[in-house]
């Protein structure tokens, strides 16, 4: 048996049954293929990262230190179906499981999720990555709480929303999405036990003299030091489980 065949990933959707009665446990699946079609490799350079390589890269001590930090951010600029995103989320939630009780698990888990960002050119890959991350989060919650996570709950809605905001479609080389709009991300800032959301563009992270973006200041390469004084773009400070409501300051 080859090494690749021995590797496992994080979640098996076929085993995920909302109506099952046995105890909830973390579950795994076999790894996927490295390519979908030769045409996609030729046209997009699409080759998926094998699980063993993901694990090896994330095992670096400096990376592990960041994984064990709820607010340390990760950005995958070519996310594919989420090989790195899924494993980073899984390992961060393992850390959350260790440091949290049932009272503060939700907040800590959402902070971990907020720290993970990704960009993917292909819409079908993007949808798979998002879906896998939701299932990983749900699986960890159910294993920790030993109860179902309702799709109508604030926690599920916040989880789905954060993933949709943080894991986005776009072309990292051109800084735009399929609609020709600049790729946007959100900085989730802790304010006591709540969160303040600030929107910024992916392009603003780079020191490009030709950047046509008010948030892209020449001479800077920083994740979250852009200030936007437009009140229309300001979000209210709110509990982390309520971010999906998107309440603005001037609402």
Residues 201-218 pLDDT 10s:
999 988 654 445 444 443
Of 76, 163, 173, the residue nearest 128 (C-alpha): 163
Does the pLDDT at position 132 exceed 90? Answer: yes
- The pLDDT assigned to 37 comes to 43
Q: Which one has a higher pLDDT value, 89 or 251?
A: 89
How do residues 23-68 score in pLDDT, each as one tens digit? 777 665 545 554 444 454 344 444 567 788 889 999 999 999 999 9
Percent helix, strand and coil across the chain, each to the nearest 5: 40, 15, 45
- Decide: 120 and 80 in contact? Cβ < 8 Å: yes
Tell me the average pLDDT of the chain: 80
How do residues 79-111 score in pLDDT, each as one tens digit? 988 999 999 999 999 999 999 999 999 999 999
Task: Tell me the Ramachandran region of residue 80: left when phi exceeds 0, alpha when psi lies from -120 to 50, beta otherwise.
Answer: left
Tell me the C-alpha distance between 111 and 168, whole Å.
18
Does the pLDDT at position 150 exceed 90? Answer: yes
- The pLDDT assigned to 171 comes to 96
Position of tokens 């390589």? 53
Tokens of 178: 């399929």
What residues contact residue 122 under an 8 Å CB cut-off, 6+ apart?
Answer: 40, 44, 46, 80
**How does residue 245 score in pLDDT terms, banded at 50, 70 and 90?**
very high
> Would the pTM count as exceeding 0.75?
yes
Domain boundaries, the chain: 3-16+24-181
Does the pLDDT at position 121 exceed 50? Answer: yes
């Amino acid at each position: 048996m080859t090494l690749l065949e021995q590797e496992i990933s994080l979640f098996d959707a076929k085993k995920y049954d909302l109506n099952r009665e046995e105890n909830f446990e973390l579950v795994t699946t076999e790894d996927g293929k490295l390519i979908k079609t030769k045409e996609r490799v030729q046209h997009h350079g699409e080759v998926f990262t094998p699980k063993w390589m993901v694990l090896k890269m994330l095992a670096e001590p400096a990376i592990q230190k960041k994984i064990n930090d709820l607010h340390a951010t990760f950005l995958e600029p070519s996310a594919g179906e989420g090989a790195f995103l899924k494993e980073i989320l899984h390992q961060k939630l393992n850390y959350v499981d260790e440091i949290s009780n049932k009272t503060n698990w939700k907040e800590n888990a959402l902070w971990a999720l907020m720290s993970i960002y990704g960009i993917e050119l292909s819409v079908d890959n993007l949808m798979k990555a998002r879906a896998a991350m939701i299932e990983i989060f749900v699986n960890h919650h159910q294993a920790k709480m030993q109860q179902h996570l309702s799709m109508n709950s604030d926690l599920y809605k916040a989880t789905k929303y954060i993933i949709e905001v943080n894991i986005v479609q776009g072309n990292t080389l051109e800084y735009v999405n399929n609609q020709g709009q600049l790729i946007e991300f959100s900085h989730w800032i802790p304010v006591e036990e709540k969160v303040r959301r600030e929107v910024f563009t992916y392009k603003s992270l780079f020191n490009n003299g030709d950047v046509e973006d008010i948030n892209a200041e020449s001479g800077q390469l920083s994740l979250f030091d852009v200030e936007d004084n437009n009140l229309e773009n300001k979000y209210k400070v709110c509990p982390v489980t309520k971010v999906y409501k998107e309440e603005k300051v001037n609402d």
